[in-house]
Structure 1
Amino acid sequence: MTEVILLGLAVAVVWKLYQWSRAPHDAPLRSVTLCLLSAALSYPLAMPGGASGVDTVAGHGTAKLMQNVLLLLTVYFLMCFYLYSADGQAGRLRARREALLVAAVALAITVAALSVPHDVFAGSFSTADMTIPQIAFFYGGAGLYLMYALGAAGRWTRRYARMSRRPHATGLWMAAIGLSAMAVACAVRAVFVAIRWSGGTVPQPLMAGVAFLLVVSILLFFVGVTYPGARARVTSARLWLRRRRDHRRLAPLWQLLAEAYPENVLRPASSGLWDRWRARGVHRRYHRRIVECRDGLVDVSPHLVDASEDIEVLALPPAVLADRLRRAVDTMGKGSLVPRPAVRLAVPEEDNREADVRQLIAVSDALRLSA
């Protein structure tokens, strides 16, 4: 699970860095990118292997200090995203004031950490000696700022969730609940610090429960911010698969009409192998094939009926129309007369693109079955 989260963070950071390189003046995008980058850099420092490696080189407690400073930066840049997105110039001014605050907190906990022996930081939050004022200030100060920033971000997220529609609203509500739960967990941990600093004890199951709440809230926030994008990607993938399938199903009709009217075949925008699998290439070929089939049906329509037949005969079932299409194409080059002007064929009852495509596919499937 740890490796999956770290891999997901790395992929998200690389993608946001790429987007930022294309829009370097986009302040909200810059904030999101720096937020993810700070989170990704802090995550390995929370792992035993990463922390021990840094501590071996720089001394005990260095990894913990770096991790907490990066967490402060993570929530600060998260706040900046909302400030730059909504408040305009006022948001920029407040972001500068918030930068002074986070810098002051980071400097204060750094001084507190450097003022005690390195081996004091060898333990974790649950085992640290909170009766040492510097240790209590280190954990309490960082926790209070995290509570403040996460609470503010959760409040702004709830505001956006009320103004949004699904699926974005669903993801925003999950993110808001996750942020609020993280803020509550940080507040409770600050209370634990105060109790332990004054000489009291906190039951281990209670501290484990708060730690579990923190993990669950982080996961809920992660799911919330990725839900709209993941759902959009799933929808896009389903559309991609359906249009590839429909493109293949239209092949019999397209081949018949392309042989009869090669001038209707549009020039492809790209013939590369990669274009056959890219979403843009698949959608482009799909729409081009529909246009080519429709143009071919208009051209072949005068050859389908005799002058003695009523125009209503063109409203034929797909199987009958497929048979007439094949016979018309076979006889076109044998001097057959064109008795009437062009008309639309395979017209669906519903006046929309999806119904039109279904009608064309029905005729193409009938051609395939009768081959």
Structure 2
Amino acid sequence: MKVLLLVLDAAVLWKVYQWRRSPDDAPLRSVALCLLSAALSYPLAMPGGSSGIDTVAGHGTAKLLQNLLLLVTVYFLMSFYLYSADGPDARRRVRREGVVVALAAVALTVAAESVPHDVFAGSFSSEDMTVPQIAFFYIGAGLYLMYALAVAGHWTRRYARMSRRPHSTGLWMTAVALGAVAVACAIRAVIVGIRATGASVPDLVMTAVAFLLVVSILLFVAGVTYSGARARTSAVRLWLRHRCAHRRLAPLWELLTEAYPKHVLPPASSTLWDRMRARGVHRRCHRRIVECRDCLIDISPHLADEEDGLPLREVDPRELAVRLRRASALIGQGVPAPRQAVPLAMGDGGDREADVRQLIAVSDALRTAA
């Protein structure tokens, strides 16, 4: 739970930072306030946080505050979708929904404060639902949560239909999770109604509803993070591939730039941070590829072998590595280029990735020969 709280706090800080940079972005503001409300309610659900507040303000205060913050959380979640998709009427609709959540919060507060604190000190499973105020509190909170989550789930499904993978996958997971939580809230409201009459509900049903809530919340977290996690995974894989390509191109680059130092481009930055961050790694890899290609154009006239008659672009990477070493030695001796430049070390695919693979193959051959 502490790890989840730290993750939630980090998300809150990030969104608040983005909100500060774009204060007029209404959907971003809604997301930031949604996460902030959730982060504030989370400690109240923990034994240490609830007991501390109950000791100061009386039994049941932590539960009341937690439920009010949950109402605010789902209200801002719903507001995000309304701002994003409801067009010109979004602001008016958000204000109307704000009045609804305010009335719900006042009603729950009145219900909680109208009973003795010791009566309101239990949990959902142990609370005496025959007390009208207690039953009203749980039914009212559950129905509003069900309503707000159902609206958010409706907009999520609409976005999922309009999106492509991987975004649609995460949105469908989120939509299913929101719908499942709404169903769980509705079931809990029915359970409260049954217990308010004095009847009992089997423990198996209570356990099943609690399990549904836990699974739905986990699915919701997975859904909202799916697209970002996929993007981060792809970014890390690209970072590793470019870092590996930069390292594997080192033998070829060193040989060529020793012969043609004029083609070495000035680095944008030489700090350790720039060498490790994604943008710096991509830039350094691209610069090395460009430098190798430019040098190969200049050195190509020294590589032609009249005996085999093969075009240079069809020469095996190992043979090309041998010729590159001979050509580099000739250039060091000042031998002029005997003919015009020709293309070489180009892939069959005709794209940049195929050319890079050929460059790496030649560089690996130089490394092996050395």
TM-score, normalised to structure 2, is 0.97
Specify the alignment match of 1:99 in structure 2: 98
Asked whether the equivalents of residues 76 and 99 of structure 1 are also in contact (C-alpha less than 8 Å), the reply is: yes
Asked whether the equivalents of residues 296 and 344 of structure 2 are also in contact (C-alpha less than 8 Å), the reply is: yes
RMSD: 1.4
- Residue 183 of structure 1 aligns to which amino acid in structure 2? A
Pair 1:61-2:60 in alignment: yes
Specify the alignment match of 2:16 in structure 1: 17
CA distance in 1, matches of 2:168, 2:11: 21
Specify the alignment match of 1:153 in structure 2: 152
- Residue 266 of structure 1 aligns to which amino acid in structure 2? L
- Residue 241 of structure 2 aligns to which amino acid in structure 1? R
Query: How does 1:262-341 map onto structure 2 within 5 Å?
Result: 262-305=261-304, 310=309, 312-341=311-340
Matched position secondary structure for 2:350: coil
- In the TM superposition, residue 333 of structure 1 has moved relative to its aligned partner by 3.0
Could you tell which deviates more after superposition, 137-146 or 329-338? 329-338
Change (3 A) 1:8 1:335: closer
Asked whether the equivalents of residues 71 and 105 of structure 2 are also in contact (C-alpha less than 8 Å), the reply is: yes
- Residue 96 of structure 1 aligns to which amino acid in structure 2? R
Specify the alignment match of 2:188 in structure 1: 189
- In the TM superposition, residue 335 of structure 1 has moved relative to its aligned partner by 3.5
Could you tell which deviates more after superposition, 139-148 or 338-347? 338-347
- In the TM superposition, residue 314 of structure 1 has moved relative to its aligned partner by 4.8
Give the number of equivalent residue pairs: 370
Asked whether the equivalents of residues 31 and 81 of structure 1 are also in contact (C-alpha less than 8 Å), the reply is: yes
Specify the alignment match of 1:356 in structure 2: 355
Pair 1:138-2:137 in alignment: yes
Specify the alignment match of 1:218 in structure 2: 217
CA distance in 2, matches of 1:48, 1:204: 23
Asked whether the equivalents of residues 307 and 339 of structure 1 are also in contact (C-alpha less than 8 Å), the reply is: no
Asked whether the equivalents of residues 38 and 74 of structure 1 are also in contact (C-alpha less than 8 Å), the reply is: yes
Asked whether the equivalents of residues 301 and 340 of structure 2 are also in contact (C-alpha less than 8 Å), the reply is: yes
Asked whether the equivalents of residues 41 and 65 of structure 2 are also in contact (C-alpha less than 8 Å), the reply is: yes
CA distance in 2, matches of 1:215, 1:22: 34
CA distance in 2, matches of 1:6, 1:209: 25
CA distance in 2, matches of 1:346, 1:313: 8
TM-score, normalised to structure 1, is 0.97
CA distance in 1, matches of 2:350, 2:175: 42
Matched position secondary structure for 1:120: coil
Asked whether the equivalents of residues 28 and 85 of structure 1 are also in contact (C-alpha less than 8 Å), the reply is: yes
Matched position secondary structure for 1:118: coil
CA distance in 2, matches of 1:215, 1:181: 10
- In the TM superposition, residue 3 of structure 1 has moved relative to its aligned partner by 2.2
- In the TM superposition, residue 215 of structure 1 has moved relative to its aligned partner by 1.0
- Residue 341 of structure 1 aligns to which amino acid in structure 2? Q
Specify the alignment match of 2:89 in structure 1: 90
Matched position secondary structure for 2:267: coil
CA distance in 2, matches of 1:245, 1:3: 37
- In the TM superposition, residue 55 of structure 1 has moved relative to its aligned partner by 0.5
- In the TM superposition, residue 45 of structure 1 has moved relative to its aligned partner by 0.5
Matched position secondary structure for 1:67: helix
Specify the alignment match of 1:31 in structure 2: 30
Deviations 1:55-101 (A, max 9, x none): 11111111001000000011001101111111222122111100010
Matched position secondary structure for 1:24: coil
Specify the alignment match of 1:119 in structure 2: 118
Change (3 A) 1:313 1:8: closer
Change (3 A) 1:314 1:111: closer
CA distance in 1, matches of 2:310, 2:297: 14
- In the TM superposition, residue 145 of structure 1 has moved relative to its aligned partner by 0.2
CA distance in 1, matches of 2:18, 2:231: 18
Matched position secondary structure for 2:338: coil
- Residue 135 of structure 1 aligns to which amino acid in structure 2? I
CA distance in 1, matches of 2:260, 2:349: 28
- In the TM superposition, residue 311 of structure 1 has moved relative to its aligned partner by 6.8
Asked whether the equivalents of residues 138 and 189 of structure 2 are also in contact (C-alpha less than 8 Å), the reply is: yes
- In the TM superposition, residue 309 of structure 1 has moved relative to its aligned partner by 7.6
CA distance in 1, matches of 2:44, 2:18: 26
Asked whether the equivalents of residues 258 and 296 of structure 1 are also in contact (C-alpha less than 8 Å), the reply is: yes
- In the TM superposition, residue 313 of structure 1 has moved relative to its aligned partner by 4.2
- Residue 199 of structure 1 aligns to which amino acid in structure 2? G
Asked whether the equivalents of residues 55 and 62 of structure 1 are also in contact (C-alpha less than 8 Å), the reply is: yes
CA distance in 2, matches of 1:58, 1:220: 35
Could you tell which deviates more after superposition, 315-324 or 332-341? 332-341
Asked whether the equivalents of residues 306 and 339 of structure 1 are also in contact (C-alpha less than 8 Å), the reply is: no
- In the TM superposition, residue 198 of structure 1 has moved relative to its aligned partner by 2.1
- Residue 356 of structure 2 aligns to which amino acid in structure 1? V
Deviations 1:282-317 (A, max 9, x none): 001010000000000001111212678857245311
User: Structure 2 unaligned runs (5+)?
Assistant: none
Asked whether the equivalents of residues 38 and 73 of structure 1 are also in contact (C-alpha less than 8 Å), the reply is: yes
Specify the alignment match of 1:70 in structure 2: 69
- Residue 151 of structure 1 aligns to which amino acid in structure 2? A
Deviations 1:164-216 (A, max 9, x none): 11111111111111100100000011111111222222122211211111111
